[in-house]
Structure 1
Amino acid sequence: MAHDPAEADFAEIARHFSHLWQALNKSADKPNSPETRQILVDRVRDALDRGEARLSDTDPKIVANSFLLEALIHEGAFTQIYRARHRDLGTLHAIKLPRPEHADDPVVRKLMLREADIGMALRHSHIATTQTVLRLADGRPALVMEWIGSRLADLLQQRALSPGEVTAIMTSVLFGLQAIHAAGFVHCDLSPLNLLSADGDFSRLKIADFGVALEVGYRHGQFDLAFAGRPDLASPEQMAGEPLDGRSDLYAAGLLLSLLLQHCKERDEGLEALALRLSERAPQDRPQNAKAALHLLGGPAKRPVQA
């Protein structure tokens, strides 16, 4: 019978593991406490991680010794977003971090930490939750956020929408904007890429990505940014670099509604009229706030329960 090198290697590893396990538990009459054993197990796990990283030709995919980066789901000019799994809990998360070549970029670092501050200040059922901030070994900040399965941009490529679904999407968006504006912020980057849905449930749509959000009354130029956002959805005042308030997000919501209606199976004159009203070029011609826009949409009068 041919000798299998892998079997021999496994047998040797098994012998060493047996010795390791005995060392972790000490003797039967004087075993380690559960706390001490857990500390030793964690240190062994750390040593295995470091050893695996040395054997790999690629960058290690373990963050803070707790999160396994499973897949790169979005890559921008300055940042990356990964789907990550907590190694002990098995829970999924989204982790956003600067690209490696921007590890020392002070503007990117400043914006990431501002995004974390804003995200941690917002808790609402229609806002994606920022859970914590980590610092990588090379000093980069990493934002840990709740994982929500699908982007609206992807869902729009799969099928047409009904007027009821368009209304559900806009209701979720406007409730989310109402909470953002009440906290004193402007999102500044509303788009189908930043609207997330679990299992295509539009009634639970959540607004994500506060990377270019501002405090009400601020301009992006105050943060060394000539322009931030998406030109095809940005308000005229945002394009001009002026101080912003919640009506700038309502302009983007109007253009978003127009886009949704292009994917709609049926015409809805009421929704078309609302899209035009929200996207008036002059801020004073738009609804005063998200609550007023919800009233025009015919949405529920009460805000949903906060997360």
Structure 2
Amino acid sequence: MADHLEDTHFEEVARNFTALWHALTVAGDRDPEKHRSLINQVRDALDRGEHRLAGHDPTIIANTFVLEALVHEGATTRTYRARHRDLLSLHAVKTLRPDQADDPVARKLLLNEARIGGAIRHPNVVATETLLRFADGRPALVLEWIDRSLEDIVRETSLGVGDIMHVIAAILRGLEAIHATGYVHGDLSLSNIRYMDNDLSRLKIGDFGIALETGRRHRDLDIAFAGRPRFAPPEQLAGQALDGRSDLHAAGLILSMLLDHCHVDHCRETGATVKRLRQLATELARPEPQERPENAKAALHLLDGLGKDIPR
């Protein structure tokens, strides 16, 4: 009996879906603009009724972005994959955790991240798209969606020397743009370097959660310490003022890690280049800021000097 009812319900749904599909696809003499409007209205109705199927109300921001999945949770923030209700495009939405909603420092940092990210436009920097609000007042930072990171590459595969050079060139170009705007990233790491379409020359630096103006210290943002001990330079660990050379230190450590994961045969064939790349990694990660290249542009010049074709 239950199976019969289930079959009956399925047939009813199938009939109704067929009728809906026919109404949408057989436009007849309908004006193209009205046809698009009808499709959008149906999409919107399905969107609004999704909670009846899922058993819960979907979270919709500014009547535009539907939160689809939680992809990362930090000490004070959460990041979601979100979809634009009309364009169907994917985006990242970063906000405060509910238990941090009233924390003035956490809120200030997220708003600071929005301001800094919004000031930087470069192909090698994750795009900050807009800042909205949840219904409960929490800020919602909308970012370009990129679901892969350099950490994934290191975990899953090894790179050839050419790929490694493309990676470090993209990182340095992104840093050059960040520093030219007057900021220090302060949290460069494998997980904060994103990539798309398997194109390593299109790597993008993301997550400006603890970025700050050149010459400032994190204590100026009411943070006792910010950064990742594995990548932070000595001056950051000591709570001192940071400048662009602080990010170069992290870039040097990342380059060294990539070389450690270099494809064995390829590294053997290009031993001289690998040796020079390791020297560059050492120069970038010198303990004292004044011992490092002056800026990202100078580091790119050193990379160009290796004689490989690095796209600019």
Same fold (TM over 0.5): yes
Residue 233 of structure 2: aligned partner: 235
Alignment check: 8 A CA contact 1:80 1:98 kept: yes
Question: How many Å apart are 1:55 and its aligned residue?
Answer: 8.6
Matched, 1:291 2:291: no
What is the aligned length?
283
2:247 to 240, 246, 249: 249
Task: Judge conservation of contact 1:155–1:200 (CA < 8 Å) in 2.
Answer: no
The Cα shift of 1:68 comes to 2.0
What SS class does the counterpart of residue 131 from structure 1 fall into? strand
Q: What secondary structure does 2:282 align onto?
A: helix
Does the CA contact (< 8 Å) of 2:304 and 2:310 recur in 1? no
For residues 257 and 68 of structure 1, the distance between their equivalents in structure 2, rounded to whole angstroms, comes to: 37
- What is the aligned partner in structure 1 of residue 84 from structure 2? 86
Match of 1:75 among 73, 76, 87: 73
The alpha-carbon distance between structure 1 residues 219 and 58, as it changes in their structure 2 partners (threshold 3 A), is farther
Distance across 1 between alignment mates of 2:52 and 2:180: 49
Aligned to 1:269: 275
Give the secondary structure class of the aligned counterpart of 2:69. strand
Match of 1:211 in 2: 209
Please tell me whether the aligned partners of residues 84 and 92 of structure 1 are also in contact (alpha carbons under 8 angstroms): yes
| 1:22-41 pair list within 5 angstroms | none
Matched residue SS, 2:83: strand
Describe the shift of the 1:3–1:159 C-alpha distance in structure 2 as closer, same or farther (beyond 3 A).
closer
- Cα deviation, 1:27-82, whole Å, max 9, x if unaligned, reads xxxxxxx7xx99xx69x859x83x76589665633222222222222221111112
Equivalent position of 1:29 in the other structure = none
**Distance of aligned partners of 1:182 and 1:144 in 2 relative to their CA distance in 1, 3 Å threshold:** same
- What CA distance in whole angstroms lies between the structure 2 residues aligned with 1:194 and 1:152? 8
Gaps of 5+ in 1: 19-33
- Kindly provide the amino acid, as one letter, of the partner of residue 140 in structure 2: A
1:84 and 1:63, CA in 2 relative to 1: closer, same or farther beyond 3 A?
Answer: same
Quote how far apart the aligned CAs of 1:85 are: 1.3
Higher helix share: 2
Residues 124-150 of structure 1: CA distance to partner in whole angstroms, max 9, x if unpaired?
111110000110001111111111231
Query: What is the distance in 2 between the residues matched to 1:54 and 1:224?
Result: 44
| Per-residue CA distance 1:224-259 (angstroms, 9 max, x = gap) | 100111111001111111111001001111111111
Distance 2:198 2:189 in 1: 16
Q: 1:45 to 1:188 in 2, by over 3 A?
A: same
On the 8 A contact 1:150/1:200 being kept in 2, the answer is no
Question: In 2 relative to 1, CA 247–3 (structure 1 residues): closer, same or farther, beyond 3 Å?
Answer: closer
Unaligned runs of 5+ in 2: 21-33
Give the aligned partner of residue 221 of structure 1. Answer: 219
Within the candidate set 157, 161, 164, 2:162 is matched to 164
Deviations, residues 139-176 of structure 1 (Å, cap 9, x unaligned): 11111111123111012111111111111000000011
The residue type paired with residue 239 of structure 1 is L
**Paired residue secondary structure (2:152):** helix
Change (3 A) 1:206 1:4: closer
TM-score of the pair, normalised by structure 1: 0.82
Amino acid at match of 1:296: L
CA contact (8 A) 1:149 1:199 kept: no
- Contact 1:69 1:84 (8 Å CA) reproduced: yes
Task: Tell me: CA distance 1:263–1:59, structure 2 relative to 1, closer, same or farther (3 Å).
Answer: farther
SS in 2 for 1:157: helix
